[in-house]
Structure 1
Amino acid sequence: MAEQRWSVSRRTFLRGTVAAGAISAGAVAGAPGFAAPPGRRVAVLGGGVAGLTAAHELAERGFEVTVYEARALGGKARSVGVPGTGRGGRPDLPGEHGFRFFPGFYQNLPDTMRRIPVPGNADGVWSNLLAVPEARFSRRDGDDILLALPDSLTAIQVTPDSIRESLAATITTATKMPPAEGAYFANRLMVFNTSCEARRFGQWEYTSWHDFVRGNQRSHEFRALISRSLTSIMVAAKENLASTRTIGSMGEQFLGNPLGHGNDGGLDRVLNNTTNTAWIDPWVQHLRTLGVRFELGARVSELVVRDKRIQSARLADARTVDADYFVVALPVEQARKLWSSEVLAVAPELSAMDRLFVDWMNGIQIYFRTPLRISRGHTAYVDTPWSLTSISQNQLWTHKLPSFGDGSVADCLSVDISDWHSVGMLYGKPATECTHEEIFREVWAQLSSHLNDREQLLRPADVHSWFLDPGITWQGAQNANADPLLINTAGSWDARPNAHGSIENLFLAGDYVRTDVDLATMEGANESARAAVNALLDVSGSNAQRCTGFKLRRTPELEPLRAVDASRYAQGLPNLFDTPT
């Protein structure tokens, strides 16, 4: 269950804090050249969602915070302008690492968003979220599935039997699978949802989702929709690698949302503008008012250890960062480069991070001169070799696309490429070996094979231009990727570090840190940063109120069955619903 929300505003609370060295956030903002009392200086290394969250929580509690970021604030969540496309005073066309969405079960991130003020928005940037009404599963040479998504969710009374029956009926109707397949998947969901915590960590953590749903024994339709598409479109994971504990937990949240469990809003939400306009820019501005300082172009190259503490950090340009506490908020592939032999001598547990797996999941935006009518939400292209998903954005934004670029762009199809290693349709090569032009042509061919088999929804003559994530760069005979994504794998919980370990003044924030959501998400980054700040408050002896920590929800009606499962697991017996068929 979530901790109780604040009964007073955090700024009000901080003004009443009398702990040694504590100051109000307002004092920081109003004191140029302010120097924090000894023991209050924090260096946040990395300016993505995790780093900005840590800075936010610390600044509200009176710490002097400086964020060091090598490239751009917002990390993979930021908007990316397409260079040189702006005309007549218009901003450049908006690009991005890939589209993002905010499921209704997110709790930590929305709490932060409500505390980022925006003129005219009572709930800050949270008010810039909107629920999309549908999702489309597009098939090649087959009937597409259009799912209506509820935007008004209320709790209902349920029983275990009604849950299973409703799941089976919904799956069968929504996916057009045979009733036996729908009933089978509903039963697998019941196996997981009635599993106790000990079984989830002891058995399902080490079982891949593909093996759990026994995908190799099911129909092609089942594998395409349930085993593959749901993992790629809903949680950006790979079904043959991801642990059942993690994917099952995400499914539990999605299913609980319409039942009224853990709702923060509609099942599938997006921002009503470019990410920077709707969220990142107001956030950075608010942090500046709290006294947070930003150092851009600051790439961390080394952590200096002395007396089992981090004495300083060194930047690539030879500058030294001195602070009392260090929060490493870098992506996992960057963070573990900092674990020198000196760091590992004090914190040997960090060496396990080498077992964490990253892979490519980047996006391409295609700009059109005419509006698109593909879906009023996200679309998954079920049979595509590169596991494509997309969303058309102009219909969702208050800042319409003709106000960008040269004024002739009417829509943008933002496409995520989830599989960079399978051979494509046109060139017989994976995306990693295709030039940028070949990637665009391959993506276009795969989209067209799905959308133009009944009517021509995509027309080459309507294409204005396209933009590939700038993290993808062509080097020699293949691409390099500056922004890979942490990929959940079965058993990876053992390799994930806690937010605070053996080094007293070192704290970790990022989606690779142990969190309840346990997935590469903005929610996980935010949750981990809250844990890092709470650990820092403990170490510093601060009596400031700790960050609220929200946990994933469980369907309460199934709790008696989880108690039964705890007894069965202790006896070495399978879950009550886990039958061989």
Structure 2
Amino acid sequence: MARQLGTVSRRALLRGAVAAGISTTGAVAARPIRAAADPVQRVAVFGGGVAGLTAAHELAERGFEVTLYERRALGGKARSIAVPGSGRDGRPDLPGEHGFRFFPGFYRHIPDTMRRIPFPGNANGVWDNLVAAPEARFARTGSEDTIVPMGRAGKPWATVDDFRQTVGSVISTSMRIPMSDAAYFANRLLVFNTSCDARRFGEWENLAWRDFVGARGRSTEFRVLLSRTLTTLLVAAKDDLASTRTIGAMGEQFLGNPLEIGNDGPLDRVLNGPTSEAWIDPWVARLRDLGVRFETAEVRGLDVDGHRISGARLADGRSVDADHYVLAVPVEVARHLWTPEILAVRPELAAMDRLTVDWMTGIQFYLRRPAAIARGHTAYIDSPWSLTSIAQNQFWPRTPLPGRGDGSVLDCLSVDISNWNTPGILSGKTAKQCTAQEISREVWAQLQAHLKGHAELRDDDLHSWFLDSGISWDAAGNSANADPLLINTVGSWAARPVTHGALENLFLAGDYVRTGVDLATMEGACEAARTAVNALLDVAGSNAERCRVFSLYRAVELEPMRQLDTARYAAGQPNMFDVPV
């Protein structure tokens, strides 16, 4: 009896503390939330990436009893991955990762969560571990590179001509493309920004980005930078396949908002240390404080009884019984769980088979001297594998790299490979056809081809490298990727499900769910999880405060034109600015 009373008291204590805004770790207070009504309801969360951790966080703050099941490692694609055996003489292993972290200023959900994760010495929790990356570099093989300040750009505008001039000037200056091309692209962005929702979903969702921007008739720089590079770097997609609605919405944030209006912070932010140390580990600790239980397990099946999930089956043979089930696994995992019984109740889930995934994965190069490339991200414009990178140590004052590995590593150049399907410059093979060693040599060569002068990478700079452990090879040498990325192809919105449907106690929380962010990102995963929790609160009859859900920025000055476009679209007319420029 004493043990049972102790458990109940702790649970009640945690709910009361969170409801009052009191931190149970003494570092930062949680946002005040009314506790859910008793009896306590049990929730099983499957998947421990950003979506799963977000769902567990929001539910635990509201007094639910949460158990999270993760098959591999908490944090998912966002976690750090220690380089096995790299530590010497008591030093920790070097930090690797699936890909470098990037927190654009328009992210709102992730920062809101970060403020509720305590971190020693930080008034705003983990959020204070975000630091600005003040510049970006666009590196080229055959011409001079461009370094772009990542601060506010342009001036306030009140007219359409001001918009064109401001955005066009920013694009022309930062991308080094002819002003005529920049003005043309600014007008295409204006067309999208003044389009009503009905046109965005009915027309632009079904049009490829390359066709929308008219890339075929523009300069080489235009085609490379504003058509191909923008899509590949953002979503690992091809401009002839990517949905204009998705890419346009991202352009609305990055290029149509030079004044950072509505942003949470600067345009480009990174963490001040390895991801797990600066964010994921403190997050897990916070969830444990809130009473969340973690189990290493993989979901293999969901049992159905009428319009409810009656239980879940794990790979180790165990079964899970809960009141509610949150599925926060990736799309390629979720769609393998849809049995005829599930599809009989939610037939729309069958459309998920049409969703496309591809590879966007990282490799880290550990260097014997600090990289002098950029104080932020670098895009390698002419690289066949669509590479981007960031030199990490300059942003890690709290956890410098010389204190790790064998003590001789002074920097980590973290590189994302966004195109695994185009032949490289050494062997003529695609990344998917290469061995790990070949991938390392190819990426290094493509970097070297772009970087000259003080930014040059010399072979003797290279200490070692680490390729994301999610990439593997079978006995025949065929490669596989355990962590592919959802690609927003033309018309794919129709195949994406909403978070909750006819299965009363099943809630979907992956980044493939329909969200406002509409991109396979940490932000999209966080928003999807919040939407799932809100639906669960409705089903559970909870009186707890609903999760905050933020909208993407839209220029208020253009709202009257979007209203006019509603009538034009209904009448079958083009957008008023969709004319030759």
- TM-score, length-scaled by structure 2: 0.93
Could you tell me how far apart the structure 2 residues matched to 1:103 and 1:110 are? 10
Find the counterpart in structure 2 of residue 45 from structure 1.
46
Is residue 314 from structure 1 mapped to residue 313 from structure 2 by the alignment?
A: yes
Secondary structure in structure 2 of the residue aligned to 1:11 = helix
Find the counterpart in structure 1 of residue 63 from structure 2.
62
- How much has 1:171 moved relative to structure 2? 1.5
Could you tell me how far apart the structure 1 residues matched to 2:212 and 2:256 are? 20
RMSD: 1.8
Structure 2 counterparts to residues 91-170 of structure 1, below 5 A: 91-150=92-151, 156=156, 158-170=158-170
Structure 2 counterparts to residues 325-344 of structure 1, below 5 A: 325-344=324-343
Residues 138 and 451 in structure 1, CA contact (< 8 A), matched pair in contact too: yes
Name whichever of 246-255 and 432-441 sits farther off: 246-255
Could you tell me how far apart the structure 2 residues matched to 1:19 and 1:72 are? 30
Name whichever of 54-63 and 235-244 sits farther off: 235-244
- Name the amino acid aligned to 1:94: P
Structure 2 counterparts to residues 361-400 of structure 1, below 5 A: 361-398=360-397, 399-400=399-400
Could you tell me how far apart the structure 1 residues matched to 2:159 and 2:19 are? 43
Residues 139 and 382 in structure 1, CA contact (< 8 A), matched pair in contact too: yes
Q: For the structure 1 residues 18 and 171, does the alpha-carbon distance in structure 2 shift closer, same or farther, using more than 3 Å as the test?
A: closer
Could you tell me how far apart the structure 1 residues matched to 2:207 and 2:411 are? 42
- How much has 1:342 moved relative to structure 2? 1.4
Residues 160 and 557 in structure 1, CA contact (< 8 A), matched pair in contact too: no
Secondary structure in structure 2 of the residue aligned to 1:43 = strand
Find the counterpart in structure 2 of residue 550 from structure 1.
550
- How much has 1:229 moved relative to structure 2? 1.7
Residues 256 and 262 in structure 1, CA contact (< 8 A), matched pair in contact too: no
Could you tell me how far apart the structure 2 residues matched to 1:86 and 1:319 are? 37
Q: How many corresponding residue pairs?
A: 555
- How much has 1:129 moved relative to structure 2? 0.4
Structure 2 counterparts to residues 271-350 of structure 1, below 5 A: 271-296=271-296, 298-350=297-349
Find the counterpart in structure 1 of residue 522 from structure 2.
522
Residues 391 and 411 in structure 2, CA contact (< 8 A), matched pair in contact too: yes
Is residue 73 from structure 1 mapped to residue 74 from structure 2 by the alignment?
A: yes
- How much has 1:221 moved relative to structure 2? 1.0
For residues 189-224 of structure 1, give each alpha carbon's deviation from its aligned partner in whole angstroms, at most 9, with x where no partner exists: 111111111111110011111111111222211111
Find the counterpart in structure 2 of residue 24 from structure 1.
none
Q: For the structure 1 residues 562 and 121, does the alpha-carbon distance in structure 2 shift closer, same or farther, using more than 3 Å as the test?
A: same
Name whichever of 155-164 and 436-445 sits farther off: 155-164
- How much has 1:474 moved relative to structure 2? 1.6
The structure 2 residue matched to 1:11, chosen from 19, 30, 44, is 19
Could you tell me how far apart the structure 2 residues matched to 1:549 and 1:436 are? 41
Residues 133 and 269 in structure 2, CA contact (< 8 A), matched pair in contact too: yes
- Name the amino acid aligned to 1:83: P
- How much has 1:255 moved relative to structure 2? 3.3
Residues 156 and 260 in structure 1, CA contact (< 8 A), matched pair in contact too: no
Residues 207 and 243 in structure 1, CA contact (< 8 A), matched pair in contact too: yes
For residues 79-118 of structure 1, give each alpha carbon's deviation from its aligned partner in whole angstroms, at most 9, with x where no partner exists: 0000000111111100000112000001111100100011
Secondary structure in structure 1 of the residue aligned to 2:472 = strand
Q: For the structure 1 residues 134 and 236, does the alpha-carbon distance in structure 2 shift closer, same or farther, using more than 3 Å as the test?
A: farther
Residues 137 and 144 in structure 1, CA contact (< 8 A), matched pair in contact too: yes
Residues 35 and 62 in structure 2, CA contact (< 8 A), matched pair in contact too: no
Could you tell me how far apart the structure 2 residues matched to 1:580 and 1:383 are? 29
- How much has 1:306 moved relative to structure 2? 1.4
Name whichever of 274-283 and 166-175 sits farther off: 166-175
Residues 359 and 419 in structure 2, CA contact (< 8 A), matched pair in contact too: yes
Secondary structure in structure 2 of the residue aligned to 1:395 = helix
Find the counterpart in structure 2 of residue 403 from structure 1.
403
Unaligned runs of 5+ in 1: 1-7, 22-36
Unaligned runs of 5+ in 2: 1-15, 22-30
Could you tell me how far apart the structure 1 residues matched to 2:490 and 2:79 are? 29
Q: For the structure 1 residues 137 and 342, does the alpha-carbon distance in structure 2 shift closer, same or farther, using more than 3 Å as the test?
A: same
Secondary structure in structure 2 of the residue aligned to 1:314 = strand
Could you tell me how far apart the structure 2 residues matched to 1:19 and 1:558 are? 41
Q: For the structure 1 residues 390 and 79, does the alpha-carbon distance in structure 2 shift closer, same or farther, using more than 3 Å as the test?
A: same
For residues 518-549 of structure 1, give each alpha carbon's deviation from its aligned partner in whole angstroms, at most 9, with x where no partner exists: 00010000000000000000001111111111
Structure 2 counterparts to residues 148-297 of structure 1, below 5 A: 148-150=149-151, 156=156, 158-255=158-255, 257-296=257-296
Structure 2 counterparts to residues 332-481 of structure 1, below 5 A: 332-398=331-397, 399-452=399-452, 454=453, 457-475=456-474, 476-481=476-481
For residues 469-498 of structure 1, give each alpha carbon's deviation from its aligned partner in whole angstroms, at most 9, with x where no partner exists: 001112223211111111111111101111
Find the counterpart in structure 2 of residue 532 from structure 1.
532
Q: For the structure 1 residues 18 and 162, does the alpha-carbon distance in structure 2 shift closer, same or farther, using more than 3 Å as the test?
A: closer
**Kindly, what percent of the aligned residue pairs are identical?**
65
Secondary structure in structure 1 of the residue aligned to 2:490 = coil
- How much has 1:232 moved relative to structure 2? 3.1
Residues 401 and 410 in structure 1, CA contact (< 8 A), matched pair in contact too: yes
Name whichever of 256-265 and 159-168 sits farther off: 256-265
Residues 236 and 358 in structure 2, CA contact (< 8 A), matched pair in contact too: no
Q: For the structure 1 residues 568 and 445, does the alpha-carbon distance in structure 2 shift closer, same or farther, using more than 3 Å as the test?
A: same
Residues 118 and 125 in structure 2, CA contact (< 8 A), matched pair in contact too: yes
Could you tell me how far apart the structure 2 residues matched to 1:320 and 1:517 are? 34
- Name the amino acid aligned to 2:497: P
For residues 306-353 of structure 1, give each alpha carbon's deviation from its aligned partner in whole angstroms, at most 9, with x where no partner exists: 122111111111011111100000011011111111111111111111
Residues 235 and 250 in structure 1, CA contact (< 8 A), matched pair in contact too: no
Residues 272 and 397 in structure 1, CA contact (< 8 A), matched pair in contact too: yes
- How much has 1:227 moved relative to structure 2? 0.8
- Name the amino acid aligned to 1:264: D
Could you tell me how far apart the structure 1 residues matched to 2:182 and 2:478 are? 42
Q: For the structure 1 residues 81 and 578, does the alpha-carbon distance in structure 2 shift closer, same or farther, using more than 3 Å as the test?
A: same
Moved over 6 A (4+): 13-16, 152-155
Find the counterpart in structure 2 of residue 27 from structure 1.
none
- TM-score, length-scaled by structure 1: 0.93
Secondary structure in structure 1 of the residue aligned to 2:393 = coil
Is residue 82 from structure 1 mapped to residue 83 from structure 2 by the alignment?
A: yes
Residues 257 and 267 in structure 1, CA contact (< 8 A), matched pair in contact too: no
- How much has 1:179 moved relative to structure 2? 1.6
Secondary structure in structure 1 of the residue aligned to 2:389 = strand
Q: For the structure 1 residues 57 and 224, does the alpha-carbon distance in structure 2 shift closer, same or farther, using more than 3 Å as the test?
A: same
Q: For the structure 1 residues 261 and 18, does the alpha-carbon distance in structure 2 shift closer, same or farther, using more than 3 Å as the test?
A: closer
Secondary structure in structure 1 of the residue aligned to 2:395 = coil
- Name the amino acid aligned to 2:520: A
Residues 81 and 93 in structure 1, CA contact (< 8 A), matched pair in contact too: yes
Secondary structure in structure 2 of the residue aligned to 1:578 = coil
Secondary structure in structure 1 of the residue aligned to 2:535 = helix
Could you tell me how far apart the structure 1 residues matched to 2:528 and 2:191 are? 29
- Name the amino acid aligned to 1:357: T
- How much has 1:553 moved relative to structure 2? 1.5
- How much has 1:153 moved relative to structure 2? 8.5
Residues 154 and 167 in structure 2, CA contact (< 8 A), matched pair in contact too: no
Could you tell me how far apart the structure 1 residues matched to 2:154 and 2:65 are? 42
Find the counterpart in structure 2 of residue 491 from structure 1.
491
- Name the amino acid aligned to 1:287: L
- Name the amino acid aligned to 1:57: E
- How much has 1:15 moved relative to structure 2? 8.8
- How much has 1:17 moved relative to structure 2? 4.6
For residues 35-62 of structure 1, give each alpha carbon's deviation from its aligned partner in whole angstroms, at most 9, with x where no partner exists: xx46x00000000000000000000000
- How much has 1:182 moved relative to structure 2? 1.0
- Name the amino acid aligned to 1:217: G
